Amino acid sequence: MTLVERFKRHRVAVTLLGAALAGGAAGALVPPPRAGADTTDSAAWRLPPPSAAVPVTDAEFDLVRSASIFGAPAAAGKSGVKAPSWRLTAIITRPAPVALVAVDGSRQVLPLRAGDSLPDGGVVTAVAANGLVYSRQGCSFERRLYTASETPLGDACAASASAPAQAPPKTPRK
């Protein structure tokens, strides 16, 4: 077996050996940096003196120590947004689009088409393949499959849906 055939047979080993030799040669030709030679400007920053530290009282330290990194827990029932009394469970598109709505608190499933009433008093406007559009109290909303939240359609409804239920509507400033 000739030397060329051995190289072809062991390409990976020959490549690694060649890379190691090239790295060793480059390391021998380039001198290492001098010890103590700093390329950055060491005068740019210095450790502040101990007298620059601001003393912290025990009360301030306890306040910081007791704080949660995730914020304060929300109080239950304070959001003002009424929980929906139904959820969209399925949509049948053929022969006519039908939304299957499960009523919370019971095992009842309602098949609803456009124009039918929802359990919370809304009216189904349209049934699509991935959700339904309905109107309630003059605002249009969209609810998609596999989500529990509703998306307001339109700017006026979005502002009223995000505000607490007991708060009066905001008037625009002029």
- Predicted model pTM: 0.44
- Matching residue, tokens 């620059």: 52
pLDDT score of 45: 78
Instruction: Please tell me the predicted confidence (pLDDT) of residue 83.
Output: 61
pLDDT per residue of the chain (174 residues) written in tens, 0 to 9: 788 888 889 999 999 999 999 999 998 898 877 776 666 655 677 888 888 888 888 888 888 888 888 877 666 555 555 666 888 889 998 889 999 998 887 888 899 999 999 988 899 999 998 999 999 888 899 999 888 778 888 766 665 555 444 444 455 554
The per-residue b/e assignment along 111-137, b for 16 or more CB within 10 angstroms, e otherwise, is: ebebebebbeebebeebeeebbbbeee
Question: What SS3 state is found at 122?
Answer: coil
Q: What is d(CA 132, CA 143) in angstroms, rounded to the nearest whole number?
A: 6
Domains of the chain: 86-162 (2.30.30)
Distance CA 162, CA 170 (A): 12
pLDDT recorded at residue 167: 43
Which candidate, 150, 25, 137, places its Cα nearest to that of 88? 150
